[in-house]
Structure 1
Amino acid sequence: MLPEPDPARCRDLADDLRSAGYTAEALRSGWGDAADDAIARGLRAPADRALGGRADAVAVLGRLFMLGMPQPAASVTLALPRTGVDGLVRLGLAEVDGDDVRPLAVVRPQSYADASADGGSSWWIASDLDEAALGGPLPEDHVLGVGGASLTLAALQLPTPARRGLDIGAGCGIQALRARRSVDHVVATDISERALAFTRLNALLNGVDGIEVRLGSLFEPVTGERFDRVVSNPPFVITPRVADVPAYEYRDGGMEGDDVVAAFVRGVGGHLEPGGVAQLLGNWETRAGVPGLERVRGWVEESAVPLDAWVVERESLDPLSYAELWVRDGGTLPGTPGFSRLIDAWLDDFTAREVTEVGFGYLLLRRPAEGEPTLRRFEPLHQSLPGDGLGVHLAEALAAHDRLTALDDEGLAASALVVSPDVTEARHHIPGQEDPTVIELRQGGGFGRALGVDPGLAALVGACDGDLPVGVLIDAIAELLEADAAALRADLLPRVRELTFTGFLRFA
């Protein structure tokens, strides 16, 4: 357990880190792109080798807080003149070992890009030392730092303003910090006192107020309360319920299979205000022949409070690949004692429950502001994402959905649309032939979708410049193609709805 973070010492440390120029960009410049990428794979030596004999503040702090390497106390004092060695010790971030300072935590500079108005944030995020610094498997109360999944969830968060927010399974506090940028007050919960101490520390270190921490599992700490925004990177990793398999607090919710995600989906509706949105990451099993996304659909339908749902499956793994991923994540590598035993435990668990595949993805759940749910979308999107702006894209998609729901086909035909600026068209021809064999629309933002379209839809999209209503354009295209106008409307309008929801088209 970390000591209660002292606000004055956190301010001193923040001032020191700022004065030292301790940023992600400075570190990457100091040890190079290849070494920076190696750190993410648990390899410290390339970065240390690249720093060589450098003794400036960025190099000292990089070795201490990023590589987990002890540093001379005199060098740390020079790098952190306000905080000093004593301040680090009192914050629980380091200990004194003779003439050296030994780190007890990672303090990672994290740049967060955002497509919303102010463009992003730069934070320092403290968390527990990783297995490379520890030299072995992680302790079960390990508090995870910022990884790819947590950055993705931060990017997915809606940027629209809200009054009250809830972060379930706060960990080091990265989601609460991100939520606080658009939410007035955030309650951050976790089953780990240590995780909540890191959340408090990181809020103070980054000068962010309005984050309240509470101890407890899932919705227990907020019984009877409702929120406008809920976010969670829950401990969703499927772990065998076997005595000698480590149950890491940061990833294992203590339930069988994917039950922790199911419990969240079934229970979150009662904690959402009308119009409130919950966003989370999760795993789901394909079990006994029932596809994972269909099981998620069942959880949504079992919610006592009816919910809109948009679930995206980003990838799926077979049981062996899934087991290997998470055994390695805990610091047990092939060839080390216990690796085969842990793999067998995972495979035995999956076999006993007839699991043939595990999906991973994102869930957006919304309590309708009024009436019944109108959005039920469960889709696999197994491709890389184009970059930032996902939160903005989701907010725009929800707004488009609500507007489309209020329009019948006649109303849609009377609407003027424009092509989104990130959309491009590709045409593929067989050599010597005038007409294309494939016409493809590609999206540069959002989920980076690509879809084949026929000449009629391609012509309609190309003509959407906001001047004429969709119905007028379809009638003109029907005349050009010598097609029946009514039949073409019936064919194109449902696809126009889809293109507008997914962001290829926008209302003018």
Structure 2
Amino acid sequence: MLRPRLRPRRPLLDPRPTPSARRPTTARGRWAGEDGGVSVPGSEPGLVDGLRQDLERAAFRVEHVEDVLGGVAAAALHREETVPALRATADALVGQDAQSRDVAALTRLFVLGAGAPRQAVDLALPSLRTAGAEQLGLVVAAGNGADDEVRARVDLRPYAAVDGHGEAHWWIASDLGEMATGGALRTDHVLGVGGASTTLAQVTVRDRRRRALDLGTGCGIQALHAARHTDHVTATDISARALAFARLNAALAGAELDLREGSMLEPVAGEAFDLVVSNPPFVITPRRPDVPAYEYRDGGRAGDDLVRDLVAGVGQVLAPGGVAQLLGNWEVRRGQEWHERVGEWLDASGLDGWVVQRELLDPAQYAETWIRDGGTTPERSPDEWAVRYGAWLDDFASRDVEAVGFGIVTLRRPSDERAAGSRLRRLEEVTGTVRQPLGPAVAASLAAQDWLAAHDDDALARTRLVVAPDVTEERYLTPGDPDPRVVLLRQGGGFGRAVQLGTATAGFVGACDGELEVGQIVAALGALLGVGADAVAAEVLPTARGLVADGLLLVP
């Protein structure tokens, strides 16, 4: 189970969330053969084919990396502590098992950012070899000798995740992070797969689609997920470097992507898509020259304007029935609830809208999170830390911001014309653990909303409902009392909702086994409780609609 964190941090080997604060690192000295530049990888077909074959032959997969590292080192690496992993891979390099040696060499090189002997790299990449990896811009070698050190110029690691379409396994290239470089990130840094990226991939609906758009693709991870269930995928980014990484990752995965450079919706103006996904540069950053703006997270707008405009404007590229899903931050200003501000965005979109707030931080917490994310720490750069911290607090104070929310936005253009009052408009806070992947639950809820919109209470009364198989009932009694004081329905999957029921509603749900119509159950309860069917219907039917919308009751 994965709870999305505010920061788009990369998992070290798999999609589990990582600590919310970066640990300080010690800058490494320069080494012979290091050019100090930042690589933009190539994607020449012959070289990429050789790389793919070599990675497959070496079994450079999440599970094999963790086998080589062992449980202690793998757990430490998830905490961004590299010493145990460096020791484990050094031992494996001189071991007897050839596959472990290859996995260790690739892990040291591309995950840990440590050097590996040229001979070990050549053995791990027998088709590509060090020379081919240099041609692709993946490594730089200190020399041509067998023991000369080779270092990575990019991060390249196995990726494993489960979304609503099933399991996904790829290799994902991105820029080296500060764990490998020992320094702060460049402003044009291309981020790999972080917790936020994985959250979006798992919450996205995965039914078959004709055209999909990944807006702000970065390294291309959302586009790769979409390519598994979509006929044509367009991916855009304002960063040419990001598109170079996305091109390499698509080639490694054997996926065809239509990659376009440009800002926001400009590269796809006038087009229509059945699915739009976006992990946009949503971070709220002070617009000051002494505060760096990172392309992967900062959209160059004041406050939360970028997310607001995306929510309000994405309908321009949504086909009828099309769904847009994105992550975002929003400001909570003095005298206003979070859902009031975001609700205005939904109203401006003219679309069905569903927003789930997952996290809420005060301005100081938010500032600390994102200053550390860029590699600045009070331990390493106390003066710079203080200046940037103050800039964030001043920026929030200028707009009376008391908190910043993070969450998931789902928008849909209805396939038919509906009156404004019948549109889906739902804003809720779910901060507990959820069961991933959420995509199927989101898709089922959207379908249930359509069914409810098409069926009034009379039609509902003629329907047979069944309790979802993951739903359980909990009863809480005071010792000695024959009747429960509290009855809860608890959902095992999806959002893990818990719904408290009254006496009539609890009896109603208990009878929903598909045998009787809703109206028949209501009439029987009215007679049993001695209050009449109308009174029971007034209590039961609104709750029943909510339970259908949330997937606790199903229409067979």
**TM, length-normalised to structure 2:** 0.88
CA shift in 2, pair 1:452/1:370, >3 Å: same
Q: How is 1:174-323 mapped onto 2 (pairs within 5 angstroms)?
A: 174-209=221-256, 211-303=257-349, 306-323=350-367
Distance 1:139 1:431 in 2: 63
Partner AA of 1:314 in structure 2:
R
Cα distance, 1:356 vs structure 2: 0.2
What is the aligned partner in structure 1 of residue 110 from structure 2? 65
- 1:383, 1:478 → 2: CA distance? 36
The CA deviation string for residues 216-273 of structure 1, in whole angstroms up to 9 with x for no partner, is: 1101111111111111000000001111111010000000011110110111111111
Give, in whole Å, the separation in 1 of the partners of 2:187 and 2:347. Answer: 34
5 Å-filtered alignment, 1:400-479, equals: 400-479=448-527
Correspondence 1:376 to 2:425: yes
Q: Is the 8 A contact 2:41 2:245 kept in 1?
A: no
What is the count of residue pairs matched by the alignment? 502
Q: Distance in 2 between matches of 1:13 and 1:479?
A: 73
Alignment correspondent of 1:80: 125
- Give the one of 157, 160, 173 matched to 1:108: 157
CA RMSD of aligned residues (A): 1.4
SS across alignment from 1:110: strand
**Whole-angstrom distance in 2 between the partners of 1:30 and 1:434:** 58
Deviation at 1:3, TM superposition (A): 4.4
SS at match of 1:175: helix
Measured after TM superposition, the shift of residue 130 of structure 1 is 0.8
Distance in 2 (CA, whole Å) between partners of 1:251 and 1:78 is 38
More displaced stretch, 406-415 vs 462-471: 462-471
- Name the SS for the 1:189 alignment partner: strand
2:409 is equivalent to residue 363 of structure 1 = yes
Give the conservation status (yes or no) of the 8 Å contact 2:275–2:323.
Answer: yes
Could you list the runs of 4 or more consecutive aligned residues of structure 1 that deviate by over 3 angstroms after TM superposition? Answer: 32-35
Identity of aligned residues (%): 52
Amino acid at match of 1:287: R
Q: For residues 137-193 of structure 1, what are the alpha-carbon distances to aligned partners after superposition, in whole Å with 9 as ceiling and x for unaligned?
A: 111111111111100100111111111111111000000001111111111000100
Three-state SS of the structure 1 residue aligned to 2:515 is coil
Question: 2:323–2:410: 8 Å Cα contact kept in structure 1?
Answer: yes
Alignment counterpart, residue 375 of structure 2, candidates 331, 353, 358: 331
Q: Which moved more, 1:429-438 or 1:407-416?
A: 429-438
Helix, strand or coil: the match of 1:382? coil
Judge conservation of contact 1:284–1:293 (CA < 8 Å) in 2. no
Q: What is the DSSP-based 3-state SS (H/G/I as helix, E as strand, rest coil) of the residue aligned with 1:256?
A: coil
Higher relative contact order (CA 8 A, sep 6+): 2
What secondary structure does 1:228 align onto? strand
Q: Is the 8 A contact 1:95 1:104 kept in 2?
A: yes
Does structure 1 conserve the Cα–Cα contact (< 8 Å) formed by 2:164 and 2:204?
no
- Structure 2 residue aligned with 1:43, among 67, 74, 81? 81
Kept after mapping to 1: 8 A contact 2:209/2:230: yes
Deviation at 1:34, TM superposition (A): 4.5
Q: Paired residue for 1:140? A: 187
- Could you tell me how far 1:52 is from its partner in structure 2? 4.3
Give the superposition deviation at 1:115.
4.1
* Ranges in structure 1 where 5+ consecutive residues have no aligned partner: none
Letter aligned with residue 319 of structure 1: P
- With structure 1 as the length reference, what TM-score do the two structures score? 0.96
Structure 1 position 35, deviation (Å): 3.2
Residues 334, 480 of structure 1: alpha-carbon distance in 2 compared, 3 angstrom cutoff: farther
1:152 matched residue in structure 2: 199
- The separation in 2 between residues aligned to 1:286 and 1:403, in whole angstroms, is 34
User: Does the 8 A contact of 1:16 with 1:83 survive in 2?
Assistant: yes
Shift of 1:97: 2.1
Q: What SS is found at the alignment partner of 2:92?
A: coil
